[in-house]
Amino acid sequence: MTEPKLSEDIKKVVEKWRNKKGSLVMILHEIQNAYGYVPRETSLELSKYLDVPLAQIYEVITFYNYFKLEKPGTHRIAVCMGTACYLKGAPVILQELKELLDVEEGHNTKDGLFALDVVRCLGCCGLAPVMMIDSKVYGKVKKEEIMNILSEYGKEE
């Protein structure tokens, strides 16, 4: 999809789901999948196009944790807080990331390079504590290694 407004692609999605139960959620899923978030401009257009109050659209967006209201950072950092990771030091890893990047979980860094999220499990319990940046898994992470790991991603930009 091209830009965050009700493009022809989104109109097709709306028409596909228009008369089906749960259509608003499904439309928002497709928008989220296309952009990585639900742009405000798209929500406004969607409200007009579906004749649904904007407040109702935002009720859905803010109710479900899946939906994001801000454009995601270039690189998504996911810190596992499942039982094994938590017990083996994930809270220390998360705190270090928050301090180094000056960001809270669920948000982007000011430069838009990273988005920081907490997840329940990455399926790598034997490597605890685990964090993932984009699709690369980092296991048995130590606080002292985080700056070097992050610097790999700064070089790319």
User: pLDDT digits over 58-109, tens only?
Assistant: 999 999 878 988 888 999 999 999 999 999 999 999 999 999 999 999 899 9
Render pLDDT for 8-17 as a digit per residue (tens, 0 to 9): 777 888 888 8
Question: What is the CB-side half-sphere exposure of residue 98 using CA atoms within 13 A?
Answer: 13
Which three-class secondary structure string do you get for the chain? CCCCCCCHHHHHHHHHHCCCCCHHHHHHHHHHHHHCCCCHHHHHHHHHHHCCCHHHHHHHHHHCCCCCCCCCCCEEEEEECCHHHHHCCHHHHHHHHHHHHCCCCCEECCCCCEEEEEECCCCCHHHCCCEEECCEEECCCCHHHHHHHHHHHHHHC
CA 128 – CA 117 distance, rounded (Å): 17
Question: What is the model's pLDDT at position 156?
Answer: 52
pTM for the model stands at 0.71
19-37 confidence digits (pLDDT tens): 787 789 999 999 998 888 9
Give me the amino acid identity at 120.
Answer: R
Q: pLDDT at position 9, please?
A: 75
Give the residue carrying structure tokens 């009720």: 59
pLDDT at position 148 is 96
